[in-house]
Each structure stands twice: as C-alpha cells, then as structure tokens.
Amino acid sequence: MKEITFSEALGEAMLEEMQRDPTIFTYGEDIAKQGGIFGAYKPILGKYQDRILDTPISEEVIFGSALGASLAGMRPVAEFHFADFLFTGMTAVANQIMKFKYMTGGQGKIHLILRGPDGISKSAAAQHSESIETLFMHIPGIKIIVPSTPYDMKGLFKTALKADDPVICFEHKMLYAKKGPVPEEEYYIPFGKADIKKEGKDVTVVTTSRMVHESLKASEQLAKEGIDVEVVDLRTLVPWDKELVLESVKKTHRLVIAHETWRRGGWGAEIAATVQEEAFDYLDGPIMRVGAKNVHIPFSPPLQDFVVPDYNSVINEVRKVLNV
Amino acid sequence: MQYDKEFLIGFYRTMVRIRNFELKAEELFLQAKLPGFIHLYIGEEAIATGAMANLRKEDYITSTHRGHGHMIAKGADVNKMMAELYGKETGYCKGKGGSMHIADVSIGVLGANGEVAGGLPIAVGAGMAIKMQKKDSVVVSFFGDGASNRGAFHEALNWASVYRLPVIFLNENNQFASTERVSETTSVQNIADRAVGYNIPGVIVDGNDVIAVYEVVKEAVDRARSGGGPTLIEAKTYRIKGHFVGDPVLYRNESEVNEKWQFEPISRFESTLFEMGMITDAEKESIWREAEQEIKNAVNFAEKSKYPEPESALQDLFESDTGYDY
Ligand SMILES: Cc1ncc(C[n+]2csc(CCOP(=O)(O)OP(=O)(O)O)c2C)c(N)n1
Ligand SMILES: [Mg+2]
C-alpha cells in the first residue's frame, strides 16, 4: 500500500485507463495547463496532452457535447468546474444526457463522465459551495459516485471509465488534499456496494463524502461514552446499496443519515423512507437526519459553520435516537 | 453544374416520400389515431433532401422536433417511424419517444429533439469525436430560426469555430417559431449574418430550391471533410402548415400562406425537371404511387403492431441495470 491524496487517486485512475483505452479524453475549463484547479490531472499532463482540452466557458456545450462524443464512439470526461455551474448547462444534462437512452428505446451507449468539485470549502459562499447530488438521484438517468477516500475515488472512477452508462462524480473540495492508502495493484470498485467504514452495534450512520469523515470523528467521541456507531459509506447514490443499509439497521436497530446537502428533500429522506418501509419492525427509534439548514451557504465563517453540518451535528442526532 | 437524370429524380423521390409521410401523419393525427404532437415538414422538404445527398451513412445529423424529413432523407425505415408515431413496440424507440424523439444511431441520426436547439451541443460533441478519431466524417445539425436565439446556438458556433470542427449548422428559417414571426424576435435580418461573430462562413440559400441547397451544403461538407471547419447555412423557407397539427394559426392570414405555397419545393422542382426533359408524366405518376404505397404499408405495419407491454416502461434507462428499483 502507498499513501496518496484524493486528487492523486483521481489522476492515477485517469492515467491508467487512458493508457488502456484511447477513446478516453477529458475537457473543461482551466484543466489542460495546470491540471485542474485542484491539480487532479497533473499525472496526465505532458503524457496525453492531445486528450486534455481547455474549453470555452460554455457549460451547455461542455455537457451536451459529451453526449454527442459518446454516441460517436468516444469516452468523454467533462469537468463541471464547480457543482454550482452544473445549473448553467443543466438542460444538456437533464434533458439530453439523462434522457437520451430511455426516450430512444435503449439506443446508444452513453459512456460519459461528468466530474468536478462540490461542497463547502473555506468561505466560498453560495455560488461555489453547493452539494446538489440529490437532484441527480431524483431525476432518473445517471449514476452517481460520491467518494470519500483516495481508495474509493480511484476504484470507483476506474469503474466509471469502463461503464456504458452516464456517470456523475462529485468530489468534495475539502477531500482533494486528504491522504489515504491505495494498493499498488490494479483494482475496481463496483457501483452499488456500500462500505462499512467502521463497524458498530448501537446505531447506524449512513453517509457519503466529507460527512463520512465527520461521522467517523463523531463515532470516536461517542465511543468514549460507550456508544458504538457503525458508519456506512454508500459510495454511490445511483445505485445505492439498500441491502447493506437494511442489514446494518437490522443489527443496530437505529439509523441516522448524514449528508452535507440540505436536509429538506435531501437524499437522506429517500433512505429514511425506504428503511421504514422495509425494516419498520426492526427500528427502536425514529430515523434522524443530518443536513445543511435550508438556506444557502453563507460567506462569513461563523455563518457557514452554523449552516453546514459537522461531527457535532452527527453526535446530536445519534444522542436523540438513543435518547441519551 | 450538370447532373444526371437518376441523381435529380432521386431528389424528387425523396421529397415526395417525405411529403407523403407528412400528409398521412396529418390525416392520422386529425383522425385521433396518433397520440401526442406532430410537427410537419411540409414545404421544407428540399432542405433535408438537398443536404443529405451529400452525406455518407457514417456521417451524423442532429434533428429537431420537426424531424420526419431529416430521418427519411438520412435513410430511416418509415415502418419504424410510423410505428413510433403510433406508440407501438415496433417503433424506433419502442414507443418511448414518439415523433419528437425518433433516433437511429445506427445510421448516424443522433436524435430528433424536443428541446429547441438541444441538438447543437450534441452535434459539436460528435464533431469533436470525429476530429479525435482523425476521420473525415461530418455532422449536419438542423435547427430552426427560433433555435438561433438560444444560448446553445451561440456556444456551439463559437466552440465549433475554435476547434475547427467538421460541423455544418443548417438553419431552417421557416419564418416562425410557433406563433412568433422571426422578425419580431431576432436581432438580425439574416440568421447567416451571425456567422460573422464566430469567424466562420455564413451562407444564405433558397431553402425551397433543392439543387441550390445541395450545392451550398456540398461546399460546406467538402470544406469540413478537409479540415476547414464549420459553416453556418441559412436555408430560407416557409412553414406552410401550423406549428403543429391542430394549431389554430392566429398569427398570420390565409392569403400569405397561399402566396407562399406557389413556391413550395416539390412542384417547383417538378417544373424544372419537366423543363429539362428529365421526367415524364408516367415517371412522375409512378414516383407518387410508390411513395403512397410505401406509406400505406408503413401505416399497415404500425396498425398491426402491438402496443408495448406496460412493464416495458421500466426498461432502457441504463445499459447495465434497470435503474428504477433502488
Ligand atoms: C427550449 C425550448 N423552449 C421552448 C420549446 C417549445 N417550442 C417547441 S417548438 C418551438 C418553436 C421553435 O421554432 P423554430 O426553432 O423556428 O423551429 P420550427 O418549429 O419553426 O421548425 C417552441 C417555442 C421547446 N420545445 N424547447
Ligand atoms: Mg421556425
């Protein structure tokens, strides 16, 4: 095992798959010279310079052209720069990419990836801080990967680069510099397989991305009080691993769902509803949800900290479920 | 340019086949046999016909909500088209798309499109693929006058110009975007003038003259195949029918339509053919009869086909799994 950063893991995945598959190419704003705003493409710079393109600030074409390029036999990886700017070209995603296969009765292989940073960073404010993965879970037609570690980032992204369906990858800004172990040998992580990041018996916390780390921190604190938390990292939201979540809830009988995106209508509500439909009798308490307060992400540090959840928010909800 | 008889008769036959398909679709819609909406290409047949005569099977097009003519001219199967209009399981999209979403990726039709200007970014992407694959294929992206007022048009032309992509942007200026006249909504008199802003050639052509369309598209296609980049072509035409079948048409009067009908492309080309001595009455008759028969067969095929099983609505979202059950 070696230790690499989250962004290096993405770069390694790209490099390995680009070597294997000459149809993979990538484009977006500000990527070809500095390797992306977070440097993830540094490993491919100089090696595949003809397959990494800087583009005009034309989001509808950045996304829509990925559909055309994939129908014409390529595997485009289009960067959205910031999740917030998915909205700028959203019609190409929601009306074209996500609908094409279905509305044409299954025609074409839409092997394309949309990827880029989401989530909060240090005071990026409302137009550079959003987590909007729920929207893509709500609208049918795209697979969603939300990695939390370098290991998951690399394994999931390599799978995405071989998939024959559209994939959107949300990379949390606060994770890019995070290091973690990644094996020397090649590996792939299948979609729809959650990962138990920490086993426990008292309460299940289902989470993704940055909130995996906040949940692990919460579990360390709670362990001091004798509360044993199981942290389940979904890793992909479409598909999401219902079996593993149900299994975990049947063991712990308690569930908290933690995400950075807004609590109201966030994907946690979908998980909660499914669990109460399919495992109602196993629950010993209400299902609680952790999410951002239902306002935009504000600028000033104390405001941002108040709105966005962290490990304390997870601790609070766990206490409520356990009534302690 | 000199053309042989067979070539010119080919234009005539394609236009007549499109016309017959459209007349039948209109009739069936008015008889309430077809669900949804139908946008007719009547009066605009010369554009798809003249343009497509320059394309190979492996060339791509993106089409529009008014796309039946593009499909037929690119070589689509009219049985599968008609079955799709009926919503039958034998249709191009197995009943999931209808008129506005017909596609045939196997012959390079990357979709009709229910979103105005939705096809332009897709065409640009296909153009990028061609360039990266170092092929000499081209893409023709059809779009309306109304579509040229969407951001996607402007992003696509700039992008295609910057990368010198083999994309021909073929504007079908039929004077209306649903109820709105192009002059009321558009900053330029000629949509082709917008090419200047993107540093690419902009050409105006009489969209009701099939040979003229063929020739300007040929020039653009030749340029694109040899690495010369994109062209914007504005084919001026007129939408003879309502925006959709059933349109109350409150925005113009009958006399204007009657006047424009004098210039409709099929009878115009027919006169040319007669003047040139390239067609006889008997040949003309048989082309019309064959087209009528072809469309009759298509209707038969569609009516005999089954509706899809309701549960099949849960298929075709993804390649690798069903995608609805989690
Ligand atoms: C983005 C979008 N806005 C509005 C509509 C509704 N709509 C369908 S066709 C149309 C007019 C399109 O005009 P034009 O591009 O000139 O094409 P034409 O119908 O004349 O062939 C409108 C407004 C739509 N389908 N998509
Ligand atoms: Mg129009």
Residue B60 has pLDDT above 90, yes or no: yes
Q: Which ligand does the CA of B147 lie closest to?
A: 1
Contact A239 B326 (CB under 8 A): yes
Enter the CATH code of domain B5-305: 3.40.50.970
What value does the mean pLDDT take over residues A7-19?
97
**What's the start-to-end Cα distance of chain B, in Å?**
61
Residue of A58, A73, A140 lying closest to B159 (CB–CB)? A58
Contact A141 B323 (CB under 8 A): yes
Q: Whose CA is nearest to atom 11 of ligand 1?
A: B177
Distance B118 CA to ligand 2 centre (A): 14
CA distance linking residue B170 with residue B235, whole number of Å: 7
Residue % of chain A over a pLDDT of 70: 100
Atom index in ligand 1 nearest the CA of residue B174 equals 20
Eight-class DSSP state of B110: -
Domain match, A211 and A304 both: yes
Residue B1 has pLDDT above 80, yes or no: no
Contact A61 B155 (CB under 8 A): yes
Q: Select from A124, A158, A182 the last residue of a domain.
A: A182
Buried b vs exposed e over A225-256: b needs ≥16 C-beta within 10 Å? eebebbbbbbbbbbbbbbebbbbbbeebbbbb
Residue % of chain B over a pLDDT of 90: 99
Confidence (pLDDT) at A43: 87
The answer to whether residue A190 is domain-embedded is no
CA distance linking residue B314 with residue B50, whole number of Å: 40
Residue range A154-200, pLDDT digits in tens: 999 999 999 999 999 999 999 999 999 999 999 999 999 999 999 99
Domain match, A170 and A247 both: no
Contact residues on chain A for B118, CB-CB shorter than 8 A? 64, 91-92, 95-96
Q: Whose CA is nearest to atom 13 of ligand 1?
A: B177
Q: What residue of B is the nearest CA neighbor of A271? A: B326
Domain CATH code at residue A213? 3.40.50.920
Residue range B240-289, pLDDT digits in tens: 999 999 999 999 999 999 999 999 999 999 999 999 999 999 999 999 99
Confidence (pLDDT) at B47: 99
**HSE (side-chain half, CA atoms, 13 Å) at B8:** 22
Catalytic residues of A: 128
Domain match, A289 and A315 both: yes
DSSP track, A5-50: EHHHHHHHHHHHHHHH-TTEEEEETT-TTTSSTT-TTGGGTTTSGG
Domain match, A277 and A169 both: no
CA distance linking residue A267 with residue A261, whole number of Å: 8
Residue of A55, A61, A164 lying closest to B320 (CB–CB)? A164
Query: Checking DSSP bridges between strand A143-145 and strand A167-172, what pairing results, if any?
Result: parallel
Domain CATH code at residue A22? 3.40.50.970
Confidence (pLDDT) at A36: 86
**Helix or strand run (H / E) with residue A182:** strand A179-182
Q: What residue of A is the nearest CA neighbor of B88? A: A105
Residue % of chain B over a pLDDT of 70: 100
**Helix or strand run (H / E) with residue B160:** helix B151-162
Q: What residue of B is the nearest CA neighbor of A106? A: B316
Atom index in ligand 1 nearest the CA of residue B144 equals 15
* A21: Cα separation from own chain's centroid: 24
Domain match, A173 and A204 both: no
Confidence (pLDDT) at A38: 83
* Domain boundaries, given as residue ranges, for chain B: 5-305
Domain match, A117 and A70 both: yes
Q: Select from A147, A182, A217 the last residue of a domain.
A: A182
Q: What residue of A is the nearest CA neighbor of B160? A: A61
The answer to whether residue A259 is domain-embedded is yes
> Is ipTM over 0.95?
yes
Confidence (pLDDT) at A108: 96
Number of domain units in chain A: 2
Atom index in ligand 1 nearest the CA of residue B172 equals 21
Domain match, A16 and A148 both: yes
Residue range A109-164, pLDDT digits in tens: 999 999 999 999 999 999 999 999 999 999 999 999 999 999 999 999 999 999 99
Residue A223 has pLDDT above 80, yes or no: yes
CA distance linking residue A195 with residue B36, whole number of Å: 46
- How many angstroms away from the CA of A71 is the closest CA of chain B? 7
Domain match, A206 and A166 both: no
Query: Checking DSSP bridges between strand A255-262 and strand B139-144, what pairing results, if any?
Result: unpaired
Counting every residue written for chain B, the total comes to 326
Confidence of residue A40 (pLDDT cuts 50, 70, 90): confident
Q: Whose CA is nearest to atom 20 of ligand 1?
A: B177
The answer to whether residue A201 is domain-embedded is yes
Domain match, A115 and A207 both: no
CA distance linking residue A309 with residue A291, whole number of Å: 6
Atom index in ligand 1 nearest the CA of residue B118 equals 1
What value does the mean pLDDT take over residues B5-17?
98
Contact B316 A101 (CB under 8 A): yes
Contact B97 A51 (CB under 8 A): no
Which residues' Cβ are closer than 6 Å to ligand 1?
Answer: B 39, 64-66, 114-116, 144-147, 174, 176-178, 239, 243
Contact A107 B94 (CB under 8 A): no
Cis status of the peptide bond prior to A239, with omega within 30 of 0:
yes
**HSE (side-chain half, CA atoms, 13 Å) at A262:** 11
